[in-house]
Amino acid sequence: MLDNAKLNLAWTKVYSPIDGIAGVSNSQIGDLVGTGTKMTVVSQVNPIWAYFNISESAYLANAEKIARIVREGGSRPTTPITYIQANGEVYPQTGHLISINRQVSTGTGTVQLIAEFPNKDALLRPGGFGSVRIQTSENKNALLVPQPAVIEVQSQYQVIVVTPENRAMSYQGRRASGTKLDRHRRPEAGREGGSRRHPEAAARSRLEPRIC
């Protein structure tokens, strides 16, 4: 009888097959549960994966670098990836690229990539949204223009600058366009000598738990 009581008691303990964080419990003390009962959902969040998409043209421009990074694997992450959270704060831990989708999405024309981030304290949660930043090149002495200083009119960009004679002039088209970096934009062409920018004139991701 004692052995039977110990066996019955053992059936009252349920252990998760993985380490992680548990969601809201669907079963309470005293509930009758079976093998098909969904008691809760446990997500392994250390490390956590961030899914993000880049355009096909951006992928082709960096395909060789991306393939090299994926081949090297997580043992030698040479290109750190920064995660910017939904509140604009930079996540303190950097990640690295671990996978790339096999195809280009026919609906969006983008390629999905996966980055892995350490998440020991579970600060990042599954389903969260943010942005990722990857350095693909280095532009020394580049001019960064605050995004509010860039004016967009019918897909054309304008930047207001002040000449040494204190006259306001605008640059339009590709001269004022360029790469957007956080709250700044890097113009494709530099400003003319002596001019200065008028002070007030201007890749989202989805977090998922690691799959074992």
The tens digit of pLDDT for each residue in 152-199 reads: 777 777 777 777 888 877 766 544 445 554 444 455 544 444 444 444
What is residue 119's DSSP assignment?
A: -
What whole-number distance in Å separates Cα of residue 204 and Cα of residue 43?
22
The more confidently predicted of residues 116 and 149 is 116
CATH code 2.40.30.170 region(s) in the chain: 48-139+205-209
The more confidently predicted of residues 156 and 212 is 156
* Rg over CA atoms, the chain: 25
What whole-number distance in Å separates Cα of residue 3 and Cα of residue 14?
19
Q: Please say whether the beta carbons of 174 and 150 come within 8 A.
A: no
Q: Is the pLDDT of residue 99 over 80?
A: yes
Per-residue tokens: 14: 């349920």
The tens digit of pLDDT for each residue in 36-73 reads: 888 888 888 899 999 999 999 988 988 888 888 777 76
**Alpha helices by DSSP H, the chain:** 2-10, 56-61, 63-72
Contacts 24+ apart (CB under 8 A), 21-30: 21/45, 21/122, 21/125
Domain formed by 48-139+205-209, architecture:
Beta Barrel (2.40)
What pLDDT score does 33 carry?
79
